[in-house]
Structure formats: C-alpha cells, structure tokens
C-alpha cells in the first residue's frame, strides 16, 4: 500500500509519503506586492502540482507588531483572496489561516525550550525590525517570531519551503531546531530545505533599488501592490529610479535600478535577461520603462479583477479556509502528539 502510494507520487520522501511543501505570507498590509508574488507565490503555485502543499496566512505572526484588530481581520480575507487569485488551488493545496490550527503555537512553545537566547538574537530580521522602533518598542513576540515560523514548518514535516531570500536565515534556524530535537529526543521532524529561486529571490524597491521591495516601506512609490490600478502600477514603473548611463544591461552592482526592472520583466514574461538585453540594445531607459509599465499594469489589472470577485463571496472564502484548516489539523495534530510524547508529557487519559 505504502509502496503503491509512493509510486504514484512524483516526489516520495524517505518515509514513502508524498513530499510536502509549506509556506506563508503575512497579512500585514492591505495588499501583497510584486516582491511577494515573484519571490514566493509563483513558486507556491508551481510546486502544488508535484507536492502535497500547505499554504497559510500567518495571522499569529502579524500581531507581533502594533496592529488594529479590525484591519487584521479584513487583511486576512484579502490575503486569502489574493493567494487564490495568484493561483493557489484549494483542490490541490490546503489554504488556511494560522490561528485556525492551534498546533502551530503549541509546537512553538516546545521549540522555545531548545532555542538559545543568543541564537534567536542573531536573527537579522529581528535586528532590523527592532532597530526601527527601538528595543523597548519591540515585543517579545517579535523576538520569538522565528520560533513560531519553525513550528509552522516542522508541524507539517515539510520538505520544501518556497520563500524569498529574506527568509533564508529563518529556514536555517528551523533546520537547526529540527536536527537538535531529533538528536535529543529521537527522530521526529523532517529537516526542511529552503526553496529560493535566485532570479527573483529579492525584488528591489523601485525608488531605492538597493533595498528590498517591502510592504512596510512608508512610501509605496517604489512598491507595486497587487491591488494597484493599471495606471498606478504603470506610473510607478515609469518613475522607477534608474542609474546614470544609458545602456540597458543587467549589472546588479553598477546598475541596480535597470537590473531590477530587467528581473521583473523577465519574470513576468518568462523571458531571459539576455533576450531582453538584446531587444533593448539600441533603445533607451524610457522605452524599457514604458513597455514594462504596460505589462505590469495589465498584470495587476487582471489580478485585481480576480481578487475582487473572490472577495465578493466571503462565505466561499470561509469554506475554502475551513477545509484547508481541517486538512492541516490532521497532519499537525499527528506531529504534535509525537512531539508531546517524545517530550515526556503524560498523555491525558
Ligand atoms: P513575508 O510575509 O514578509 O513575505 C512573504 C513571502 O514573500 C517573500 N518576499 C520577497 N521575495 C522577493 N523579493 C521581495 N522584495 C520580497 N518581499 C517578501 C518573502 O521572502 C516570503 O517568502 N516570516 C515570513 C512568513 C512566514 C513563513 C512561515 C514563511 C511565517 N511562517 C513559514 C514560510 C514558512 C514572512 O514574514 O514573509
């Protein structure tokens, strides 16, 4: 039986089950942006064909910074609609909200016991985020955030975690915690791998092409939000900061602005950077920006249309999320039971 199942699955893991993929994206803005889409969602969608997929909206992570509850609730629905609009298919992937699966938080507590204080202090994302508001303004939740992320991943025994470059260190911590637990308490967790597609691992801000595109940037002039109108998006691309010189060539060091636009162009059209360099060899920056502005405009337009249609039917979104959480809990409960047992907790009888 096991054998037949693994034969039918394109990516059987060492335990004979289908390999699993897991990822999440925080509902901390009114919309996801182009960086999330190219850095993460495109890979999520591609991987759901061959893997058993778990994709979720980390609302528990979202409360580690100051937030408004009503806004969080609305943003969670928007996130669900945008992930569906991006191509997450509930028939193939469990799409759910993190807080619907209490095992994430329960496992995080256990993992907290084997995480070193110094180890957690080395997380660069925490250092960056806490530096912005000052250490006293940072919550303990922001500090322990990577431990919850490790629990998100390990509770599903995920093999692959498609993320952008900025999450690499968190996945590395997750691997360390999985190995440490396995070593101390016996084989329990699959040690996951980050799945980072180099070409789109970091999409940069259009106004500051040395910084990553981020929803928490105070100005969205350099951020193409997936709910922008075609006009807004095209304008942002046309106004992108570009480099001195005139040549359209990919060179991250001396031409970060043009290189970023070429990366976005290549990702959006599935073309190579080289073919774009050839096409634009005799043209000017303005030509590239106008063309890419139109392409991105069309893209966000149809993305927005799909999202709005999905948001119009909240009951259907609730159904999708409930089914996703039900599937997720089956797997998460099994892992948590094994972890509690290995940890030496007396089983309730
Ligand atoms: P988050 O919500 O900041 O971002 C969601 C995904 O988008 C990627 N990303 C980018 N990729 C390329 N260029 C960019 N400019 C860019 N900005 C964001 C991120 O790398 C991420 O893949 N901690 C996570 C959420 C999370 C998670 C998890 C992810 C919680 N639990 C478990 C994977 C597995 C985060 O804050 O991503």
Best residue for ligand 1 mutational test, from 20, 21, 22, 24 (most atoms within 8 Å of Cβ): 24
Banded pLDDT at 8 (limits 50, 70, 90): very low
Is the pLDDT confidence value at 5 over 60? no
3-state DSSP call for residue 223? Answer: coil
Banded pLDDT at 13 (limits 50, 70, 90): low
Percentage with pLDDT > 90 across the chain: 90
**Greater confidence, 88 or 127?**
88
- Residue 208 CA to ligand 1 center (angstroms) comes to 19
Is the pLDDT confidence value at 344 over 90? yes
Residue 124, burial from CB neighbour count under 10 angstroms (0-12, 13-18, 19+): exposed
pLDDT of the residue at 128: 86
**Beta pairing partners, 23:** 55
Q: Give the number of the atom of ligand 1 that is nearest the alpha carbon of residue 167.
A: 20
Contact indicator for 230, 297 with CB cutoff of 8 Å: yes
- Residue 22 CA to ligand 1 center (angstroms) comes to 12
CA 327 vs. chain centroid, Å, equals 20
Whether 26 lines ligand 1, by a CB cut-off of 6 Å, is yes
Banded pLDDT at 1 (limits 50, 70, 90): very low
User: Which 8-state DSSP code applies to residue 166?
Assistant: G
- Residue 167 CA to ligand 1 center (angstroms) comes to 6
Whether 225 lines ligand 1, by a CB cut-off of 6 Å, is no
Whether 25 lines ligand 1, by a CB cut-off of 6 Å, is yes
Give the DSSP H/E element, type plus range, for residue 236. Answer: helix 230-238
Whether 20 lines ligand 1, by a CB cut-off of 6 Å, is no
Among 87-101, 118-132, 215-229, 285-299, the least confident range: 118-132
Banded pLDDT at 132 (limits 50, 70, 90): confident
Order of strands, sheet of 160-162, starting from the edge strand that comes earlier in the sequence: 93-97, 52-57, 20-24, 160-162, 193-195
Whether 144 lines ligand 1, by a CB cut-off of 6 Å, is no
Whether 321 lines ligand 1, by a CB cut-off of 6 Å, is no
Residue 55: count of CB within 10 angstroms of its CB = 27
Whether 43 lines ligand 1, by a CB cut-off of 6 Å, is no
pLDDT, averaged across the chain? 94
- Residue 88 CA to ligand 1 center (angstroms) comes to 16
Q: Give the number of the atom of ligand 1 that is nearest the alpha carbon of residue 204.
A: 15
Banded pLDDT at 58 (limits 50, 70, 90): very high
For range 164-170, the mean pLDDT:
97
Strands 52-57 and 193-195 come out as unpaired
Contact indicator for 300, 230 with CB cutoff of 8 Å: yes
**Length of the chain, in residues:** 349
pLDDT of the residue at 135: 62
SS (H, E, C) 264-313: HHHHHHCCCHHHHHHHCCCCCHHHHHHHHHHHHHHHHHHHHHHHHHHHCC
Is the pLDDT confidence value at 7 over 70? no
- Say how far apart CA 234 and CA 257 lie, in whole Å: 16
């Amino acid at each position: 039986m096991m054998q037949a199942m693994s034969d039918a699955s394109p990516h059987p893991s060492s335990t004979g089950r289908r390999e699993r993929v897991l990822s999440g994206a925080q509902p901390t803005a009114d919309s996801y942006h182009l960086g999330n889409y190219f850095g993460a969602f495109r890979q999520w969608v591609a991987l759901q064909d061959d893997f058993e997929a778990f994709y979720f909206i980390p609302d528990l992570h979202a409360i580690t910074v100051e937030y408004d509850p009503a806004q969080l609730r609305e943003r969670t629905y928007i996130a669900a609609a945008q992930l569906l609009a991006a191509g997450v298919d509930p028939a193939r992937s469990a799409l759910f909200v993190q807080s619907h699966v209490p095992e994430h938080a329960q496992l995080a507590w256990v993992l907290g016991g084997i995480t070193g204080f110094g180890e957690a202090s080395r997380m660069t994302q925490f250092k960056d985020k806490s530096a912005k508001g000052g250490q006293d303004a940072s919550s303990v939740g922001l500090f322990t955030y990577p431990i919850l992320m490790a629990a998100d991943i390990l509770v599903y025994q995920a093999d692959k975690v498609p993320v952008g470059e900025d999450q690499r260190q968190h996945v590395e911590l997750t691997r360390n915690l999985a190995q440490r637990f396995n070593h101390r308490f016996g084989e329990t967790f699959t040690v996951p791998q980050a799945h980072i597609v180099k070409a789109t691992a970091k999409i940069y801000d259009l106004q500051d092409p040395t910084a990553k595109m981020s929803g928490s940037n105070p100005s969205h002039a350099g951020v193409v939000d997936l709910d922008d109108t075609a006009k807004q998006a095209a304008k942002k691309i046309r106004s992108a900061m570009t480099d001195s010189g005139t040549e359209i060539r990919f060179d991250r060091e001396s031409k970060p602005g043009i290189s970023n636009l070429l990366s976005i162009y290549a990702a959006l059209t599935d073309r190579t950077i080289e073919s774009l360099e050839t096409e634009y060899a005799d043209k000017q920056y303005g030509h590239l920006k106008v063309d890419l502005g139109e392409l991105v405009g069309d893209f966000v337009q149809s993305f927005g249309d799909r999202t709005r249609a999905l948001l119009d039917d909240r009951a259907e979104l609730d159904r999708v999320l409930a089914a996703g959480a039900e599937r997720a809990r089956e797997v998460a409960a099994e892992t948590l039971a094994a972890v509690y047992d290995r940890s030496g907790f007396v089983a309730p009888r």
